C-alpha cells in the first residue's frame, strides 16, 4: 500500500472509521499525526468508498468460491444428456452467484468492477500455479542436462540437437499399458 494510503488509513482509524468527517476534524487528526492534511472531498471520501468496496468484495468472494465448488466440466466423451445435466447444474451455480450479489447489495455501478477483480484474481492464481509447474519442469530438465548430457546449462540449441539425435536413433513406441489397466 502506498505511504499516502497508509496515512489516510491512519486518519480513517482515528475518526473511528466514519463515512463522513468534517474537514476541521481531519485537519486536527493530521496535525496530531504529523502528516499532510487529508482533504475530505476527494482523498478521504475516495478512501472510504474504496474501503466499502473492499468490504463487499471480502464478503462476496467466499460466497462465489463456495458456489464454484459445485462447477463441473463437460467432457468431450459425454453423452448429450450428461452434458446437458452438467450445464443445467452449472446454470444453477450462476444463479446462486447472482443471489450472492443481491445478498451483498452490490451497487450496480460496481458490478463490472467486482466481477472483473474476482475473475482476474482467479485467472492470475491459476496462471501462477501453472508457472510454478513450468519452473519446476525447467529445473528437472536442467538437472537432466547436467546428468545425462553433461552440460552445466541447457541451451536452446542443445534441445534441438538432442531431439534430433533421439529421433534419429529410435523409433517412438507407444507407452506400455500399466498392469492394472490390462485386466
Closest by CA to 30, choosing from 39, 19, 18, is 39
Express each pLDDT in 134-159 by its tens digit.
999 999 988 988 888 788 888 888 88
Domain residues for the domain of 1 are 1-106
Separation between Cα atoms, residue 101 and residue 95, nearest integer Å: 10
Domain count, the chain: 1
Position 172 pLDDT exceeds 60: no
Nearest 5°: CA angle at 46, between 40 and 17? 70
* Virtual torsion, Cα 106, 110, 115, 117, nearest 10 deg: -120
* Residues 103-142: b if buried by 16+ CB within 10 A, e if exposed: eeebeeebeeebeebbeeeeeeeeeeeeeeeeeeeeeeee
- Residue that the C-alpha cell 500455479 belongs to: 129
Question: What pLDDT, on a 0 to 100 scale, did the predictor assign at position 82?
Answer: 98
Residue 143 within a domain: no
Question: What pLDDT, on a 0 to 100 scale, did the predictor assign at position 180?
Answer: 53
Q: Where does the pLDDT of residue 171 fall: very low under 50, low under 70, confident under 90, or very high at 90 and above?
A: low
Residue 72 within a domain: yes
Residue 60 within a domain: yes
Average pLDDT for 1-17:
90
Express each pLDDT in 19-57 by its tens digit.
999 999 999 999 999 999 999 888 999 999 989 888 988
The larger pLDDT score, comparing residue 177 to residue 7, is at 7
Residue 16 within a domain: yes
Residue 50 within a domain: yes
Position 123 pLDDT exceeds 80: yes
Separation between Cα atoms, residue 127 and residue 115, nearest integer Å: 18
HSE at residue 127, side-chain half, CA atoms within 13 A, is 6
Residue 5 within a domain: yes
Contacts of 48 (CB under 8 A, 6+ apart): 12, 19, 20
Express each pLDDT in 69-97 by its tens digit.
999 999 999 999 999 999 999 999 999 99
Amino acid at each position: 500500500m502506498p505511504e499516502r494510503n497508509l496515512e489516510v488509513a491512519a486518519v480513517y482509524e482515528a475518526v473511528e472509521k466514519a463515512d463522513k468527517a468534517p474537514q476541521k476534524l481531519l485537519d486536527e487528526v493530521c496535525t496530531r499525526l504529523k502528516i499532510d492534511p487529508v482533504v475530505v472531498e476527494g482523498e478521504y471520501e475516495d478512501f472510504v468508498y474504496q474501503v466499502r468496496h473492499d468490504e463487499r468484495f471480502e464478503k462476496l468472494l467466499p460466497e462465489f468460491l463456495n458456489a464454484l465448488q459445485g462447477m463441473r466440466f463437460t467432457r468431450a466423451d459425454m453423452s448429450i444428456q450428461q452434458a446437458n445435466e452438467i450445464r443445467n447444474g452449472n446454470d444453477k451455480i450462476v444463479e446462486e452467484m447472482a443471489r450472492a450479489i443481491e445478498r451483498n447489495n452490490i451497487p450496480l455501478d460496481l458490478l463490472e468492477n467486482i466481477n472483473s477483480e474476482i475473475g482476474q484474481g482467479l485467472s492470475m492464481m491459476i496462471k501462477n500455479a501453472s508457472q510454478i509447474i513450468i519452473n519446476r519442469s525447467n529445473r528437472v530438465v536442467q538437472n537432466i542436462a547436467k546428468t545425462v548430457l553433461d552440460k552445466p546449462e541447457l541451451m536452446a540449441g542443445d534441445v534441438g540437437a538432442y531431439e534430433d539425435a533421439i529421433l534419429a536413433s529410435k523409433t517412438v513406441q507407444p507407452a506400455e499399458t500399466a498392469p492394472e489397466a490390462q485386466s
